[in-house]
Chain A
Amino acid sequence: MLEWLFEPLSFEFMRNALMVGILAGVLCPVVGTYLLVQRMALLGDVMAHSVLPGLAIAFFLQINILIGAFVSGIISAFLIAWIRSQTRIKVDAAMALIFSSFFALGVLLITLLRNKLDLDSFLFGDILGVTQADVSRTAMITLVVLALVRLFYKELFFYTFDRLGAQAIGLPINSIYLGLMAGVTLTIIASMQTVGVVLVVALLVGPATTAYLLVKQLHQMMGLGALLGAVSSVIGMYISYYLNVPSGPCIVLISCGFFVLAVLFSPSQGLLTQPETVNRAANILSRLKQTERSK
């Protein structure tokens, strides 16, 4: 009866894919929460696209492509912060500029260096190609980033809530910013195979946004976001398996579905569950009943 549930698990690639998917589903919302509360959700998208030149160069030089991706992502974050502090240009413009330039450079480099790098698999994820080594690497990254978030929780909280206050009390805010960006880049690298760089922002922001509508504290937002992210990954993978469609878009749309549900039904902020709406609906219902009775 539960064959549909277990059948995919008989394939090694599917077991690996699910593992990587769950890990990315947990990690992305935790890190994404920090982007969200700083109104920097799009920075995740920017950095995801910015890892491309690093990938291409690292592949060409035959060094670990993760190192290339990491360096490239950090450089983009640094450039955005620099443009923001040194010029009158606002952060959205800086991000748009950096994001498109890095992406363009990446695409050009891949063509020019005649890489055998498969652009598609980086852009949209390549769940079929997940190896055992990929699983352990993703697990490593997830563990390290989650441990760091736990260790520096109160400092990160202070920094993302009140940057000037954090600086005033003597916290090293530049290091915290760099650390946060390193975490975002690592998270993107860990999720590249599952959803691809084009869609990773959805996993960074989607589950965390949904959680934001449902809970009121930062750590609750991370916890619930991680749960929603993992569940979205698993459901998305199964749909992708049975319908033979790419996994990234499935995962993203499932996570988006959760968001729509939360927008409509969140106990405190839902469009259909807000006290006024409920009262109005109750009024209409009771009036309808009265008119029926009077008939």
Chain B
Amino acid sequence: MLLVQHLSVNYRSVKALEDISFKLPEGTLVGLLGPNGAGKSTLIKALLGLIPKQSGEVLYRDAPLQQQRQQVAYVPQRSQIDWDYPATVWNVVMLARTTHAGWFRSPSRQSAEIVKESLRRVDLFDLRDRPIGSLSGGQQQRVFLARAIAQQADLLLLDEPLAAVDKKTEALIFQIYDELKAEGKTLLISCHEWGGILNHYDQLLLINQRLVAQGIPKEVMTPTNIELAYGIPPQPRHFHDALENSFFC
């Protein structure tokens, strides 16, 4: 179980997150939702200890998460990556095996097998020798999903993995989420989409600097909560759309 208690984060003396507490049971697929600037990326980075927290605790299986970083796989936002970096698909997925190999050592044959398997799962094995810069947006996202799989972590934190992804890839990615969930892994995924797609998640966390609501999609996406998080009274049509149809906010 991932347990977050009273987490607050300041970004250069501006409050970014305030007193956020929640828990995620093992084997769940959780969507992290909120308007632009609500602190979705900040929350993910703070959980991982990539930015300092003002106060609060992040516990995973009763121990601080920061002490078990190999148990967490992180998929950064697309914009954080330099896609012109001279690397192939294979190179990038192999990065997941860095700490498994240990210092001074080349990755083992077993690691190569794991990377191969991960690439097959996201349907990129045939493109393994391609430079990452020559891939489409959806393929690039799948490279990082493969990297997260190859790390064999139990907790996966993904920052907007559906940005620049086409419908077909979206379906494939959700299918992989379900497989990972069935293996008992916990996934926290920040997302930018509204609509029927949200019903894929077991739970939603709606945040806007503070935690607005947590629960199954139907409980979370109520007019009151949406107004609390987005600051706009939901139009009847919008509200209807919030869980029915696809619609980008």
Pair B86/A154 contact, Cβ less than 8 Å: no
Please measure, in the bound complex, the distance between the C-alpha atom of A142 and the C-alpha atom of B92, giving whole angstroms.
Answer: 28
* Interface: A78 (CB within 8 A): no
Contact of A37 among B76, B82, B95 (CB under 8 A): B82
Please measure, in the bound complex, the distance between the C-alpha atom of A217 and the C-alpha atom of B92, giving whole angstroms.
Answer: 11
Interface of chain A, main secondary structure: helix
Chain A 257-287 interface residues, beta-carbon cutoff 8 Å to B: none
* Interface: A218 (CB within 8 A): yes
Please measure, in the bound complex, the distance between the C-alpha atom of A169 and the C-alpha atom of B94, giving whole angstroms.
Answer: 13
Pair B76/A162 contact, Cβ less than 8 Å: yes
Interface size range on B against A: 20 to 34
Please measure, in the bound complex, the distance between the C-alpha atom of A166 and the C-alpha atom of B147, giving whole angstroms.
Answer: 12
Chain B 39-59 interface residues, beta-carbon cutoff 8 Å to A: 45, 48, 50
Whether A39 touches B82, Cβ cut-off 8 Å, given contacts A164-B45, A169-B151, is: yes
In the assembled complex, which residues on chain A have CB atoms less than 8 Å from the CB atom of B87? 157, 161, 217-218
In the assembled complex, which residues on chain B have CB atoms less than 8 Å from the CB atom of A180? none
Residue of A nearest to B77 (CB): A164
In the assembled complex, which residues on chain A have CB atoms less than 8 Å from the CB atom of B72? 168
Pair A164/B76 contact, Cβ less than 8 Å: yes
Pair A162/B131 contact, Cβ less than 8 Å: no
Please measure, in the bound complex, the distance between the C-alpha atom of A151 and the C-alpha atom of B105, giving whole angstroms.
Answer: 8
Q: How far is the CB of B180 from chain A (nearest CB, A)?
A: 18
Please measure, in the bound complex, the distance between the C-alpha atom of A32 and the C-alpha atom of B72, giving whole angstroms.
Answer: 32
In the assembled complex, which residues on chain A have CB atoms less than 8 Å from the CB atom of B106? 154
Whether A168 touches B86, Cβ cut-off 8 Å, given contacts A157-B95, A162-B95, is: no
Pair B50/A157 contact, Cβ less than 8 Å: no
Contact with A along B65-79 (1 / 0, CB 8 A): 000011010101000
In the assembled complex, which residues on chain A have CB atoms less than 8 Å from the CB atom of B12? 88
Pair A164/B69 contact, Cβ less than 8 Å: no
Closest 4 CB pairs of A and B: A170-B69, A168-B74, A216-B131, A168-B48
Pick 18 A–B contacts, CB within 8 A, sort by A. Answer: A39-B82, A155-B98, A157-B95, A160-B85, A161-B81, A161-B82, A161-B87, A164-B45, A166-B98, A168-B50, A168-B72, A168-B74, A169-B70, A169-B74, A169-B98, A170-B99, A171-B99, A221-B86
Task: Please give the residue numbers on chain A whose beta carbons come within 8 Å of chain B beta carbons, in ascending order.
Answer: 37, 39, 88, 151-152, 154-155, 157-158, 160-162, 164-171, 212, 215-218, 220-221
Q: A155-B98, A164-B76, A216-B88 are in contact. List 11 more A-B contacts (CB 8 A).
A: A39-B82, A152-B104, A154-B95, A157-B87, A157-B91, A157-B95, A161-B92, A162-B76, A165-B74, A168-B48, A212-B86
